[in-house]
Amino acid sequence: MANPYINAPIRARMYARTMHKVVWIVAVVASAGLLAPPLFFIAAKKRVVSMAVPVVYAAIIYGAAFLSSILGNPKNWMGGVLSITMIVAAVHAAILDADWKPGR
């Protein structure tokens, strides 16, 4: 029986420095979440998260923007969807390297 911790693939770090982390989090918040899918696409290419994560963020963010332009936004639901998604994406971006340890 193989130990999953011994045979685990080595993951790259998402952020090289703390400044990179701050810049990405500020970019996600400043763009109201619109830059979350590219951030998580980069994370998926580095194998930090699965490829489903940027797809889900893109579907929620860009899908809500597209639907609000087609259906209209009478009750301002688009702002709520974007603000909740922005908060979730910023927190998710902040904890991407939380379990990274040197030598892994």
CA distance 3 to 103: 17
Mean pLDDT for the stretch of residues 79-97: 87
Given this model, what pLDDT does residue 59 score? 94
Given this model, what pLDDT does residue 101 score? 56
CA distance 73 to 67: 9
Is pLDDT at 1 greater than 70 in this prediction? no
Look up residue 31 and give its two tokens: 């763009």
Q: Dihedral of CA 98/21/42/54: which sign?
A: positive
User: What global pTM score does this model have?
Assistant: 0.76
Q: Residue 4 — very low, low, confident or very high, per pLDDT cuts 50/70/90?
A: low
Mean pLDDT for the stretch of residues 14-36: 86
How far, CA to CA in Å, does 66 sit from each of 17, 33, 36, 75, 80? 35, 15, 16, 16, 15
